[in-house]
Amino acid sequence: MRYLSLFILLFLFGCGNANQKTSNPEARSATDSLLLHPEEMKYLKNIKQITFGGNNAEAYWSFDDQYLVFQSDYAGWGNSCDQIFYTDWKNDDLKNNAPKLLSTGMGRTTCSYFLPNQTIVYGSTHLANENCPPVPEPRADGKYVWPIYPSFDIFTADLDGNIINQLTDEEGYDAEATVSPQGDKIVFTSMRTGDLELFTMNIDGTDVKQITNELGYDGGAFFSPDGTKLIFRSSRPKTEEEIKEYQDLLKDGLVTPTDMELYVCNADGSDLRKITDLGQANWAPFFHPSGEKIIFASNHTATRGFPFNLYMINLDGTGLTRITRDETFDAFPVFSNDGKYIVFASNRNNGGTRDTNLFVAEWIGE
The string of pLDDT tens digits covering residues 256-287 is: 988 999 999 999 999 999 999 999 999 999 99
Alpha carbon separation from 296 to 73, 210, 248, 280, 300 (Å, rounded): 23, 24, 29, 13, 12
Q: Which pLDDT belongs to residue 143?
A: 82
More confident: 342 or 14: 342
Contact 47, 324 (CB under 8 A): no
Cβ neighbours around 151 below 10 Å, total = 18
- The domain tally of the chain equals 1
Residue 273 one-letter amino acid = R
Which CATH number characterizes residue 352's domain?
A: 2.120.10.30
185 in Cβ contact with 341 (< 8 Å): no
Predicted local distance difference test score (pLDDT) of residue 289: 95
Percentage with pLDDT > 90 across the chain: 85
Reply yes or no on whether the pLDDT at 8 is more than 70.
Answer: no
Closest CA to 3 of 49, 77, 56: 56
Whether 65 has a pLDDT exceeding 80, the answer reads: yes
Peptide bond into 147 cis (omega under 30): no
- φ, ψ of residue 90 to 5 degrees: the values are -80, -25
What percentage of the chain carries pLDDT values higher than 70? 92
What's the distance, Cα to Cα, between the start and end of the chain in Å? 29
The pLDDT tens digits for 189-246 are: 999 999 999 999 999 999 999 999 999 999 999 999 999 999 999 999 999 999 999 9
Contact between 84 and 69 (Cβ < 8 Å): yes
How far apart CA 261 and CA 281 sit, in angstroms, is 7
Cβ-contact 44, 365 below 8 angstroms: yes
For the four alpha carbons of 85, 88, 90 and 96, in that order, the dihedral sign comes to negative
Torsion angle, alpha carbons of 318, 321, 327, 330, to 10 = -80
Average pLDDT, the chain: 91
Q: What is the mean pLDDT of residues 155-184?
A: 97
Whether the model pTM is above 0.75: yes
**Closest listed residue to residue 355, CA positions, set 84, 123, 76:** 76
Beta-sheet pairing, 293-298 with 282-287: antiparallel
| CA distances (Å), origin 266, targets 165, 209, 211 | 28, 13, 9
In DSSP terms, 141 is beta-bridged to: none
Supply the pLDDT for residue 183: 96
Q: Whose CA is closest to 56, among 84, 28, 21?
A: 84
List the domain range (segments joined by +) for residue 213.
5-363
The CA distances from residue 21 to 18, 74, 349, 350, 352, in Å, are 6, 20, 6, 7, 6
Distances (CA, A) of 6 to 256, 271, 330: 14, 32, 12
